[in-house]
Copies of this chain bind each other. A is one copy, B any other.
Amino acid sequence: MNNIKTAAIIGGGVIGGGWAARLIENGIEVRVFDPAADTKAKFDAVLANADRAYASLTNAPRAAKAAVSWHASAAAAAEGSQLIIESVPERPDIKRVVYAEIETSAASDAIITSSTSGIMPSELQAEMVHPERLMVAHPFNPVYLLPLVELVAGNQTDTKYIEWGKTFFAGIGMHPLHCRVEIEGFLSDRLQEALWREALWLLHDKVATADEIDTAIAYGPGLRWAQMGTMQTFHLAGGEGGMRAMLAMFGPCLKWPWTKLMDVPELTDDFVNEVGGQCEQQAAGLSPRELERIRDDNLIAIQRALKGNDWGAGKTLARYEAQMMQAANDD
């Protein structure tokens, strides 16, 4: 399991496409299955975005890109694959059907990872023949540029696969984070959801527009979060007293009604239209592809700028470049 040459991608959406881009960039052949008729064009657009992004992300020599092939079923894609990445919709029933299909053709020691954003792996693996080789490997959009991947074991997962994942995902330029306790939403999405829920309330209550809410992040706290999380941010803001001083100063505010703790806005058609409409307005007429390119340019610029610095994703990029240069020299 230490030398993956062929991987299957089940579900060719934004996440599946992003996984494929990262894998072929690192010389791993990809076998895709998606039941939807229109998937391939979108999938290819993700690959094109990724190819463009990698060309400017790194100065290191790039490996020869591996091939992508399309297959008629999950079983066909899984056949001969040492790693099978599931990126289908967030419904346990759909995912379980997919695992059953995969297990009809996959080698018994093929590793299966779910890209789920928050469903517990124990639930996903419950009906599998070989549940010990299923784990969550949760990436972040765009998968080809963001380094984080959360690794989560279910109660039947063999922990050797977590150890394998730490090495494998680091090898394709990622930063694996082992979520040691299995909880719904894992770590990153719980944090993201907390922010999103509050953002939706602010918009719902007409306190601010989508654009004002985003400005409140991107021009301030967001610049800190690109290099460090909430805990270290507040530890520094506390001056000499660090986090202890911050807890003394702002801890009581956590109990004030500063956020809508008790409830979530009802997603009525009107509200969805309001939120969707404001986000479309914010996009100022740019197409999804154009928006993605601006985002990618910024993500590349930030990671390059942080390269070799002491904190965060810049370290991951520096390590990955060193590894690519080593590989090129070894050839």
Contacts and interface: CB of A to CB of B under 8 A. Distances in A.
Interface of A: 13-14, 42, 89-90, 117-118, 140-141, 146-148, 150, 175, 177, 179-181, 183-200, 202-203, 205-208, 210-232, 234-237, 239-240, 242-244, 247-251, 253-259, 261-264, 267, 272, 275-276, 278-280, 282-283, 288, 291-292, 294-295, 297-299, 301-306, 309-314, 316
A39 to B, nearest CB: 11
A195 B198 CA distance: 9
Given A183-B207, A184-B256, A247-B275, A215 B177 contact: yes
Contact of A191 (B217, B262, B264): B217
Q: Which 8 pairs across A and B sit closest by C-beta, in order of nearness?
A: A214-B229, A148-B220, A222-B225, A226-B226, A305-B305, A185-B258, A217-B229, A301-B305
Given A190-B258, A206-B181, A218 B228 contact: yes
Contacts of A42: 239-240
Contacts of A190: 198, 202, 258-259
A190 to B, nearest CB: 5
Nearest to A312: B218
Nearest to A139: B220
Contacts of A314: 298
B272 A141 contact: no
Contact of A221 (B212, B225, B283): B225
A220 B175 CA distance: 9
A179 B117 CA distance: 33
B197 A194 contact: yes
A56 B179 CA distance: 38
Contacts of A14: 237, 239
Contacts of A280: 235, 242-243
Contacts of A202: 187, 190-191
A155 to B, nearest CB: 16
Contacts of A210: 231-232
A259 B197 contact: yes
A230 B213 contact: yes
B261 A262 contact: yes
A280 B306 CA distance: 23
A188 B216 contact: yes
Contacts of A229: 199, 213-218, 222
A49 to B, nearest CB: 11
A198 B214 CA distance: 20
14 contacts: A42-B239, A89-B249, A147-B219, A177-B215, A184-B258, A187-B202, A187-B213, A191-B221, A199-B229, A226-B226, A227-B302, A242-B279, A262-B262, A301-B309
